[in-house]
């Protein structure tokens, strides 16, 4: 079951707009919370569970979510939660050892992993045009992101295990995204053509992710340089800064407005992205969200409130953005050669 091209285009435009706002507002949210990025990460991980399940309950009471949707097998949700938590753990482990510009570049392997897992788990096949389009998107993003990096070899002094772990982190996240698509496809069969509500997938996936993140919390806090025994005091300090109360020992100007604005936009982005997965596919959703990367970099290069010093973009950034756009156009040309699911 697919949506009309016009509805899908509108949903894609919403994803791009929210993806740009999400990236820009995350940077702004870290201005007051610059000493507490780990607090913001845990607030989103555990806070979203409460919000998503509240929305799920409301939609169940109004009849938008049925008992059959809630009764869907949970093993895929457990796998999604585990993969997302492992992705966070691997990403934080590698991120602590890698130079900053290398992280977003290595993370572009996400789309490659999606192509592989989509073929293996969903039985999809892609034309050469679509594969080339995806790799153009990845190449464009890498060129745009790397344009601000220092000259020289980014990873010359880094052990191979750390970039490999960052690539593995992308694989975990990509696997989770393909499993979410599988939930929609399998759910449509079980629900006689009606796909599961996005809040069913969001709520149970986030719930199991929170469980696994909680189990990994001692290791995750150590990776951020926070001893587990010091974690309660750190979280308390983060809460004080988030609320911008007088007791906070550091300047938290911009809180709570900027962090709250980021949280609201981030939730809207997550919901819109999953909605696009439901309407199309995980790869289309990823390509759409990826197109926001150079736009976000451009906006962040401008003088912004709380970040008054802009930066000048290089020629390679412009070339990378053009290559990315070419890849998106190539992938989304009439897909007559794209085969559907083998099961169909």
pLDDT in tens, the chain (344 residues): 456 788 888 999 999 999 999 999 998 999 899 889 999 999 999 999 999 999 999 999 999 999 999 999 999 999 999 999 999 999 988 887 887 667 787 888 899 999 999 999 999 998 899 899 999 999 998 888 776 555 445 566 778 888 899 899 999 999 999 999 999 999 999 999 899 999 999 999 999 999 999 999 999 999 888 999 999 999 999 999 999 887 667 888 889 999 999 999 999 999 999 999 999 999 999 999 988 888 988 898 888 888 777 777 788 888 988 999 899 888 877 654 444 444 44
Whole-angstrom CA distances from 116 to 103, 109, 120, 131, 321 are 21, 11, 6, 11, 25
Structure tokens at 21: 């706002």
Residue 344 lies in a domain: no
Q: What is the pLDDT of residue 101?
A: 67
Backbone angles phi, psi at 304, to 5 degrees: -125, 160
Residue 42 lies in a domain: yes
Q: What is the pLDDT of residue 301?
A: 85
Domain of 272, in residue numbers: 5-332
Q: Give the number of domains in the chain.
A: 1
Query: Nearest to residue 203, comparing CAs of 193, 195, 211?
Result: 211
Structure tokens at 264: 């609201």
Residue 337 lies in a domain: no
Query: Nearest to residue 13, comparing CAs of 291, 261, 262?
Result: 291
Q: What is the pLDDT of residue 341?
A: 42
Q: What is the pLDDT of residue 117?
A: 95
Residue 343 lies in a domain: no
Q: What is the pLDDT of residue 76?
A: 96
- Between CA 150 and CA 76 the distance in angstroms is 42
Residue 201 lies in a domain: yes
Residue 52 lies in a domain: yes
Q: What is the pLDDT of residue 114?
A: 94
pTM of the model: 0.87
Residue 342 lies in a domain: no
Residue 105 lies in a domain: yes
Residue 307 near residue 207, CB atoms below 8 Å: no
Angle at the Cα of 222 from the Cα atoms of 97 and 75, rounded to 5 degrees: 95
Q: What is the pLDDT of residue 132?
A: 93
Q: What is the pLDDT of residue 3?
A: 66
Q: What is the pLDDT of residue 308?
A: 77
């Amino acid at each position: 079951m697919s949506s009309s091209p016009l509805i899908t285009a509108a949903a894609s435009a919403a994803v791009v707009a929210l993806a740009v706002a999400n990236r820009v507002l995350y940077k702004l949210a870290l201005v007051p919370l610059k000493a507490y990025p780990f607090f913001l990460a845990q607030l989103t991980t555990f806070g979203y569970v409460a919000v998503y399940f509240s929305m799920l309950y409301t939609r169940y009471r109004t009849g938008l979510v049925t008992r059959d949707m809630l009764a869907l097998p949970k093993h895929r949700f457990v796998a999604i939660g585990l993969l997302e938590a492992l992705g966070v753990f691997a990403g934080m482990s590698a991120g602590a050892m890698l130079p900053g510009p290398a992280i977003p570049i290595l993370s572009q392997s996400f789309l490659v992993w999606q192509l592989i897992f989509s073929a293996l788990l969903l039985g999809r096949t892609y034309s050469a045009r679509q594969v080339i389009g995806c790799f153009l998107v990845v190449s464009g993003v890498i060129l745009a992101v790397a344009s601000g990096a220092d000259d020289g070899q980014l990873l010359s002094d880094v052990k191979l295990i750390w970039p490999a772990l960052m690539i593995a982190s992308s694989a975990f996240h990509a696997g989770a995204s393909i499993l979410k698509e599988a939930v929609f496809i399998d759910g449509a069969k079980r629900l006689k053509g009606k796909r599961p509500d996005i809040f069913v997938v969001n709520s149970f996936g986030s719930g199991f992710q929170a469980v696994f993140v909680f189990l990994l919390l001692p290791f995750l806090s150590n990776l951020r340089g926070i001893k587990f025994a010091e974690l309660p005091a750190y979280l308390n300090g983060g809460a004080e800064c988030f609320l911008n109360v007088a007791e906070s020992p550091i300047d938290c100007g911009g809180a709570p407005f900027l962090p709250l604005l980021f949280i609201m936009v981030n939730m809207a982005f997550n919901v819109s992205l999953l909605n696009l997965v439901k309407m199309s596919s995980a790869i289309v959703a990823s390509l759409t969200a990826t197109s926001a990367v150079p736009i976000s970099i451009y906006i962040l290069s401008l003088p912004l409130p709380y970040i008054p010093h802009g930066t000048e973009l290089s020629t390679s950034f412009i070339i990378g953005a053009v290559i990315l756009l070419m890849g998106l156009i190539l992938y989304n040309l009439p897909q007559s050669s794209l085969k559907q699911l083998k099961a169909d």
